[in-house]
Structure 1
Amino acid sequence: MQTNLSEVAKRLPRAEEAERILRSCVHCGFCTATCPTYQLLGDELDGPRGRIYLIKQVLEGAPITASTQLHLDRCLTCRNCETTCPSGVKYHDLLDIGRAVVEQQVPRPLGQRLLHGGLRAVVPRPALFKALCRTGQALRPVLPAALTSKLPARVTAPGVRPAPRHSRRVLMLEGCVQPALSPNTNAAAARVLDRLGISVEPIREAGCCGAVDYHLNAQAQGLDRARRNIDAWWPAIEAGAEAIVQTASGCGAFVRDYGHLLEADPRYAAKAARVSALSRDLVEVLCEAPVEQLGLCAEQRVAFHCPCTLQHALKLGGAVEGLLTRLGFTLTAVPDGHLCCGSAGTYSLTQPELSRQLRDNRLNALESGRPQVIVTANIGCQAHLGGAGRTPVRHWVEIVDAGLGAG
């Protein structure tokens, strides 16, 4: 696509990257067919091709309006379009660049500013988020349905987490909301890894991966969180930790991007690239391990919801399904498995109507094979799908861990 950046846009830190991405798009439209918001709304500007055109206009100096902001806000950043694109367009990077420019020039209404600010103040702080969740559970009978659907109906206690004892050591990103909404997930992962001779070394100083800030257009703050995590992990990396494991694919996708996002930072570029290289989703670690020797008792019919960040960002579509099949689980067929559930980080709060439609469509597909349980690989998807109060939804490592207890 021919592009002529304005003089203002040429001075942006990522101007060359934006121009390169725009020129790589041939406007073929294959992406439109797989875009969840285009499927719902039928508006070209609510599909990747239309949004790319809007960003092109912004960077070429055209007036920026609230309508431009709305169409960019409606994007889930599911990256389905990137999987579909024959030209390899790095759409999510272009979207980040475009959103940052629009955010600077289009003032948001007060309600949106309060919502975004509140999410950034609460979600990245695990202790505060947990306290608010406990308060919400106590007040559940008097809360409106829109709020109670965001709280888990049942929280599984984490159980015993094994102390480090093996020569093979990994680090684990604990996450922001997962310790409150699904505290058993990381404990279950640590127990499974321990059975395979791998210890999880706790790094308490590591915090939010930075994705919440970054994707709510506070990009500088998101990158500051990334730097703090790098600093927290670095001594253990130098001491021989072999991987940084994530049990939430949304966090994993962002950590995997540290190297790219910080490549222009002379102090952190090399360290960020090293962290990205060490980043592993839990399924990658277990797929390389002799899991058959665990003697798992797997008797459930399971539907797997593959998060967008797992299949489109990390390119691990089919990995969890393959692992669960190796372990003896019966997986039901799931139509349109490439589509988004509508969680998309904070999207279910910033775009509730669209998010709810996508969730219900996804649940209908997941439940079509009559599974006993739905499993997934990202806490956002887990909470969002579970909030409908239909089939139980858990992280896949929890059912693996439970099967070990029965075996």
Structure 2
Amino acid sequence: MQTNLSEQAKRLPRGEEAERILRTCVHCGFCNATCPTYQLLGDELDGPRGRIYLIKQVLEGNEVTAKTQLHLDRCLTCRNCETTCPSGVQYHNLLDIGRAVVDAAVPRPLAQRALRESLRAVVPNASLFKGLTQVGQVFRPLLPEALQAKLPRAARAAKPRPEPRHGRRVLMLEGCVQPGLSPNTNAATARVLDRLGISVTPIFEAGCCGAVDYHLNAQDKGLERARRNIDAWWPAIEQGAEAIVQTASGCGAFVKEYGHLLAQDPAYAEKAKRVSALAKDLVEVLGAEPLEQLGVRGDKRLAFHCPCTLQHAQKLGGAVEGVLSRLGFSLTAVPDSHLCCGSAGTYSLTQPELSKQLRDNKLDALESGQPEVIVTANIGCQTHLDGAGRTPVRHWIELVEEALN
């Protein structure tokens, strides 16, 4: 795609990157065929190709409008288009650059600003979020239906974790919302890994991965959180930790981007690159281990929802299904498994109508094989899908842990 960036755009910290990405796009339109919002709305500007044109116009110095902002806001950042693209367009990076420029030029209405600031204040704060979740459970009948749907249907307290006792050690990002919404997920992970001779060392100084701030266009704050996590993990990395495990694929996808996002930071570039190399989704760790020694008896019929951050961002589609099959679980077929469920971080709150349509379509597909339980690998997807009150939705590692002999 021919481009003629404005002098102002060329001076952006990521101006050269934006121009390079734009030039790789051949505007073939293959991306629209797998874009969830284009499928729902049928508008060229609500597909990747149209959004790329919008960002191109902005970076070339054309007028920026609220309409431009709306079409960029509607993008889920599911990265399905990147999986489809024959030219390797790094759409998500271009979208980050474009959104920052647009938001700097177009003030948001007060209601939008209040919602986004509230999300940034609450979601990354694990202790505050957990406390509010507990209060919400107490007053659940009094809450609006939309908030009730965000609370866990069944309270599952975290079981005790084994003490670190093995020579092999991994770190684990605890996450910001998972301790409040699904507290047993990380505990189940620690127990399964312990059975495989791997001890989990939680680093509680590490907090939110930074994705919430970054994708709500507080990019500097998101990178500040990334630096803080790197500092928290670094002593254990120097002492030989072999991986940084994420049980939420959304967090994992963002941590694996640290090296790219901090590449121009002289104080953190090399450390960030090392952290990204050590970041592993849980399935990457388990998939390389002798799972037969776990003695798992997987007797449930499951449908697996592969989060976009696992299959499109981390390119690990089929990995969890492979592990579950090795452990004896029966997996149902899921039509259109490449499509997003509509959770997409905070999207279910900022774009509730589109999100609900995508959720209901995804549940129809997941339930078509009549599973006993739906399992997934990301707390956002888990909460979003389970909030419909249909087939129970859980993290896959909890089903594995429950099936241990």
Interval of TM-score (by shorter of Structure 1 and Structure 2): over 0.9
Compute the displacement of 1:202 (Å): 1.7
Q: Deviations over 1:241-261 (max 9, x none)?
A: 000000000000000000000
TM-score by length of 2: 1.00
The superposition leaves residues 90-144 of structure 1 with CA deviations (integer Å, 9 ceiling, x where unpaired) of 0000000000000100000000000000000000001100111111111111111
Q: Is the 8 A contact 1:78 1:340 kept in 2?
A: yes
1:310 lines up with 2:307 in the alignment: no
1:341 counterpart SS class: coil
**Deviation of the 1:264 alpha carbon:** 0.1
User: What is the identity, as a one-letter code, of the residue corresponding to 1:69?
Assistant: Q
Q: Supply the AA of the counterpart residue of 1:270.
A: E
Aligned to 1:70: 70
Query: Hey, what's the Cα distance between the residues in 1 that align with 2:201 and 2:126?
Result: 19
2:395 aligns with 395
1-structure distance, mates of 2:26, 2:141: 53
Give SS of 2:403's match: helix
Equivalences for residues 256-405 of structure 1 within 5 A: 256-404=256-404
Residue type of the partner of 1:130? K
RMSD over equivalenced CA pairs, Å:
0.4
| SS of residue matched to 1:214 | helix
Q: Tell me the equivalent position of 1:14.
A: 14
What is residue 253 of structure 1 aligned with on the other side?
Answer: 253
Pairwise CA distance, 1:154: 1.0
- Which amino acid letter does the alignment assign opposite residue 129 of structure 1? F
Residue 347 of structure 1 and its aligned partner are, at CA, apart by: 0.2
Superposed displacement of residue 207, structure 1:
0.3
Q: Count residues in correspondence.
A: 405
Map Cα deviations across residues 292-329 of structure 1 (whole Å, 9 max, x no partner): 11111111000000000000000000000000000000
Matched to 1:58, the amino acid is V
**Counterpart of 2:100 in 1: which secondary structure?**
helix
Could you report, residue by residue, the CA deviation over 1:347-370 in whole angstroms, capped at 9, with x for unpaired residues? 000000000000000000000000
Partner of 1:213: 213
What is residue 96 of structure 1 aligned with on the other side?
Answer: 96
The letter of the residue matching 2:77 is T
Distance 1:155 1:368 in 2: 27
Inter-partner Cα distance in structure 1 for 2:155 and 2:52: 41
Name the structure 1 match of 2:81: 81
Paired residues of 1:303 and 1:332 also in contact (CA < 8 A):
yes
Distance 2:55 2:5 in 1: 11
Q: How far apart, in 1, do the equivalents of 2:111 and 2:400 lie?
A: 43
Write the letter of the residue equivalent to 2:242.
Answer: E
Contact 1:158 1:183 in 2 (8 A): yes
Q: Using structure 1 for the length normalisation, give the TM-score.
A: 0.99
What is the Cα deviation at residue 26 of structure 1?
A: 0.1
- Residue identity over aligned pairs, in percent, reads 79
Q: 2:74 is aligned with what amino acid? A: R
Matching residue's letter, 2:347: Y
For 1:317-343, what per-residue CA distance to the aligned partner results, in whole angstroms no more than 9, with x for missing partners? 000000000000000000000000000
- Structure 1 CA distance for aligned equivalents of residues 28 and 205 of structure 2: 46
Question: Displacement, 1:383?
Answer: 0.1
In structure 1, distance between residues paired with 2:203 and 2:144: 38
Find the aligned partners of 2:48 and 2:202 in 1 and give their Cα distance.
40
Q: Distance in 1 between matches of 2:146 and 2:190?
A: 34
Give 1:71 deviation, angstroms. Answer: 0.1
User: What's the counterpart of residue 36 of structure 2?
Assistant: 36
Q: Name the CA distance, whole Å, in 2 between partners of 1:402 and 1:311.
A: 25
2:293 maps to amino acid: Q
1:155–1:183 Cα contact (<8 Å) kept: no
Q: Which residue of 1 aligns with 2:238?
A: 238
Say which SS state the counterpart of residue 381 (structure 2) adopts.
helix
Aligned equivalents of 1:358, 1:112: Cα separation in 2: 22
Contact 1:159–1:187 under 8 Å retained in 2: yes
**Structure 1: which 4+ aligned runs deviate by more than 3 Å?**
none
Cα deviation, residue 157, structure 1 = 1.1
* More deviation, 156-165/359-368: 156-165
Number of the residue aligned with 2:144 = 144
Letter in 2 for 1:107: P
| Residue identity opposite 2:103 in structure 1 | E
Q: Find the aligned partners of 1:239 and 1:106 in 2 and give their Cα distance.
A: 47
Aligned residue for 1:169, secondary structure, equals: strand
Which residue of the partner structure matches residue 127 of structure 2?
Answer: 127
1:240-290 Cα deviation digits (max 9, x unpaired)? 000000000000000000000000000000000000000000000000000
The alignment partner of 2:20 has SS state of helix
Structure 1 unaligned spans of 5+: none
Give the Cα separation in 2 of the matches to 1:138 and 1:115.
Answer: 23
SS of residue in 1 equivalent to 2:27: coil
